[in-house]
Structure 1
Amino acid sequence: MSAQPQLSVVVPVFNEQGNVATLVHEIVAALRGAEPFEIVFVDDCSSDGTLAALQALKAQVPELRVVRHLANAGQSSAIRNGVKAARGAWIATLDGDGQNDPADLPKLLAQRDTAAPDTKLFAGWRVDRRDSGSKRWASKWANAIRRRLLHDDTPDTGCGTKLFEREAFLDLPFFNHMHRYLPALMQRAGWKTVSVPVNHRPRGTGVSKYNNLNRALVGIADLRGVAWLIKRGKVTRTEEV
């Protein structure tokens, strides 16, 4: 493993014992030889064998690091703690259920390498969702409402496949579920964002940790809060003189 990786792949997981090994090996296959990288899995206090599976994988994959929550804290906290632990200047994220395809990561990196310097987020866009009809319908309406309220010009903020600058991310306000609003929050901070079409796959094993009702209930409060943040936000650039 490089002493200083340029890219850190952060993966939050909760009870994903059956998915972590395949995902780790897919990340390695996608990135080895591309640029120095590390993989940071954050176990959100799983109650199955997820942590043991990750510890066993560390002996096989030198790029792998494992961070463990001492209490269940949710996906946003897992992502943030993974980013804080990461050593790369750029962060890629993937969901731990295997539905995001690590083979898309080089595509996001290529977009970054040709983008303007003030583009700090490359967000995956699942153009062909592999979810149930009810979940696709709920996401369609949630995305439409979000775009209307936040004006973030982003077709899909729920995709776990993202690439962003570590420093820019850590400068954002943190709150539970903030990972669903990264484009709007990055734009509020004065940065540009780009949506990149990516692959989406059926879940391999395990069950989803969300349902349409709990997403809707927390989404209403979150949208109001993010809209308030945008209204009250002010960007002031500085220079040393």
Structure 2
Amino acid sequence: MNADPLATPRLSVVVPVKNEAGNIEALVAEIGRACAGLAPFEVIYVDDGSTDATLATLKALKARTPWLRIVRHDSSGGQSGAVRSGVLHARASVIATLDGDGQNDPAFIPALYAALDQGGPGVGLAQGQRTSRKGGWKRFQSRIANGVRGRVLKDATRDTGCGLKVFRREVYLALPYFDALHRFMPALVTREGFSVVHRDVVDRPRFTGTSNYGMFDRLWVGLLDLAGVWWLIRRRRPAPRASETDTSDEIG
């Protein structure tokens, strides 16, 4: 598996983390097993300004895990910022993302990858949708946020907050970047003219610790972002096809 760490990977798995030292080793092992059939692959952990032993744990693990890479933020930039840093450093044309707390099961990555691949170049995103949520208050927040978002954006996605996503790197980099982008990807990918496919995934309890991206990141601040995304979609104009003209064709 991944015998040559210098080989161009088929898949880059991006995992944003902040103060998740206790969850890293078990999740990295799970990702390795889940992605064995997609080798060569790479896993990019983005340490979003952690103040615990996250960085030290990653460095120790990297010494015996050749396909693991570490990107470090000198201060916290938020979950969307960490995802973007990982995508910018990724070497593969296809990216998978999942949360670093263990709630997203990487066993679903191959199915999402297959859905994107089988859909052809017109599919830009395979979005995981959780069939159940752990934690009553968190589940309540998500139900409200997803309900409001769905009515406004009509993005045909039940659960955009699920961290399990597989998408084309070039499509992601064409999206307008802003904080909380990861929660609006289906609508924005559709805005760019690509299709979105969905696959059900199972939500798990986090391995250890508590959430480091809180209520306001998920709900209240998201109302302002929702208004902005609605505006972006309404202002989208079809891009004309562009091709370079060879002046030699006009001579004679």
The interval holding the TM-score normalised by the smaller chain is over 0.9
Q: CA deviation at 1:194?
A: 1.1
Tell me if 1:90 matches 2:94. Answer: yes
Q: CA deviation at 1:240?
A: 3.2
Tell me if 1:142 matches 2:140. Answer: no
TM-score, normalised with respect to structure 1: 0.96
With over 3 angstroms needed to count, the CA separation of the structure-2 counterparts of 1:2 and 1:33, relative to structure 1, is farther
Give the structure 2 partner of residue 229 of structure 1. Answer: 232
Of 157, 166, 171, 1:168 maps to: 171
| 2:129 match: secondary structure | strand
Is the Cα–Cα contact under 8 Å of residues 142 and 218 in structure 2 kept in the other structure? no
Is the Cα–Cα contact under 8 Å of residues 142 and 219 in structure 2 kept in the other structure? no
Q: CA deviation at 1:166?
A: 0.3
In the alignment, the residues of structure 2 paired with residue 179 and residue 213 of structure 1 have an alpha-carbon distance, to the nearest angstrom, of 15
In terms of Rg, which structure is larger?
A: 2
| 1:197 match: secondary structure | strand
Of 85, 93, 103, 1:81 maps to: 85
Give the structure 1 partner of residue 249 of structure 2. Answer: none
Of 110, 113, 120, 2:114 maps to: 110
In the alignment, the residues of structure 2 paired with residue 40 and residue 114 of structure 1 have an alpha-carbon distance, to the nearest angstrom, of 25
TM-score, normalised with respect to structure 2: 0.91
| 1:18 match: secondary structure | helix
Of 195, 205, 208, 1:192 maps to: 195
Q: What letter is aligned with 1:92?
A: A
With over 3 angstroms needed to count, the CA separation of the structure-2 counterparts of 1:61 and 1:214, relative to structure 1, is closer
The answer for unaligned runs of 5 or more in structure 2 is 245-252
Q: CA deviation at 1:72?
A: 1.1
Q: CA deviation at 1:237?
A: 5.0
Structure 1 stretches of 4+ moved >3 Å: 210-214
In the alignment, the residues of structure 2 paired with residue 65 and residue 240 of structure 1 have an alpha-carbon distance, to the nearest angstrom, of 38
Give the structure 2 partner of residue 53 of structure 1. Answer: 57
Give the paired residue count: 240
Give the structure 2 partner of residue 68 of structure 1. Answer: 72
Q: CA deviation at 1:229?
A: 0.6
Cα root mean square deviation, aligned: 1.3
In the alignment, the residues of structure 1 paired with residue 201 and residue 207 of structure 2 have an alpha-carbon distance, to the nearest angstrom, of 18
Q: What letter is aligned with 2:21?
A: Q
In the alignment, the residues of structure 2 paired with residue 237 and residue 62 of structure 1 have an alpha-carbon distance, to the nearest angstrom, of 44
- 1:117-176 deviations in Å (ceiling 9; x for gaps): 2001001100122x2122212211211110110111100000000000001101110001
Q: CA deviation at 1:213?
A: 4.9
Tell me if 1:36 matches 2:33. Answer: no
Of 200, 207, 218, 1:215 maps to: 218
Is the Cα–Cα contact under 8 Å of residues 155 and 195 in structure 1 kept in the other structure? no
